[in-house]
Amino acid sequence: MEDILDLYAEPLQADFPVVCFDEIPYQLVSETQRPLPLQPGKAIRYDYEYRREGTCNMFMFLEPLTGWRHVKVTDRRTKQDFAQCIKDMVETHWPNAKKIRVVLDNLNTHKLAVLYERYPPEEARALVKKLEFHYTPKHSSWLNMAEVEISVLDGQCIDRRIGSQETLNSEVAAWENERNGRQAKIDWRFTTPSARDRLKRLYPVPVAS
C-alpha cells in the first residue's frame, strides 16, 4: 500500500510517468420502444422494457498528475487485449518515457508474461524494459485511481442504455475529450502518513528487541 501512496506523492516526471490502469465490463442495452420526447416540465421518458445487445469491455488509462485519460473499448478482456493495451501504453501514449510506472490490480491477466505470449521475444523484452508494475494489495483495488475515474465515467456518461459498441465508443470519446480538455484531476488526499494513522490495525506490531 505504501509503495503506491509514495508513488502518488511524487512530483510529475515526464520521463517516469505514473499511469493507473483498470478495466470494466459493460452490458450493451437498447430500447424496445421509442422514448417519449422532452416536454416543458417533463423529462424524456423511457419504457421499462429493454433489449440486451451483448457485452464489451473498457480499459481505462489515467495519468493522474497531468489530468489525462484514455478509454479503449474492446470486444473482450483477454490476455491478448491486455498485451495490446500495454503495447499502446509504451509505443503510442508514452513513447518517450524511460520507464512507465503502472498501478494496477492483481487480475490474473495483469502479468508481464502475457507480452511474450503475444509478441516475439525481442519485442516483448523491449516492452518489458520500459515498464514497472505496482500492484494494489489484495482486496485494496480502491487504491488504484483508475477506479475513481471509472466511477466518474459511469456517473457522467455510461450509466444509461447504450445499444451498440459503436455508440459507446462515440459517447466515451466525447466524455474523454471534455475531461482531457479541462485536465480534470482527482483530488487524492490519502497519503502514507494518513494510512499509518487511520489503518493502524493493518500494520504488524514491531517486536521489541
**Dist CA 126 CA 119 (whole Å):** 10
Q: Cell numbers at residue 118, please?
A: 503475444
Residue 138's pLDDT is what? Answer: 86
**Dist CA 26 CA 169 (whole Å):** 12
Does residue 73 form part of some domain? Answer: yes
Q: In this predicted model, what pLDDT tens digit does every residue of 31-84 receive, in sequence order? A: 666 665 666 866 665 555 667 779 999 999 999 999 999 999 999 999 999 999
CA separation (Å) from 193 to 7, 28, 130, 141? 13, 42, 30, 19
Rounded (10°) CA dihedral 58, 85, 180, 4: 100
Does residue 76 form part of some domain? Answer: yes
Does residue 47 form part of some domain? Answer: no
Q: Which of 102, 98, 103, 57 is nearest to 80 (CA)?
A: 57
**Dist CA 100 CA 128 (whole Å):** 10
Domain count, the chain: 1
Residue 199's pLDDT is what? Answer: 86
- Whichever domain contains 63, its CATH number is 3.30.420.10
Does residue 60 form part of some domain? Answer: yes
Q: In this predicted model, what pLDDT tens digit does every residue of 177-208 receive, in sequence order? A: 999 999 999 999 999 998 888 888 877 887 76
Question: Which structural domain, as residue segments, surrounds residue 65?
Answer: 2-33+52-198
Does residue 206 form part of some domain? Answer: no
- Taking each helix axis from N to C terminus, what angle separates 145-153 and 165-182, rounded to the nearest 10 degrees? 120
Contact, 190 vs 5, CB < 8 A? yes
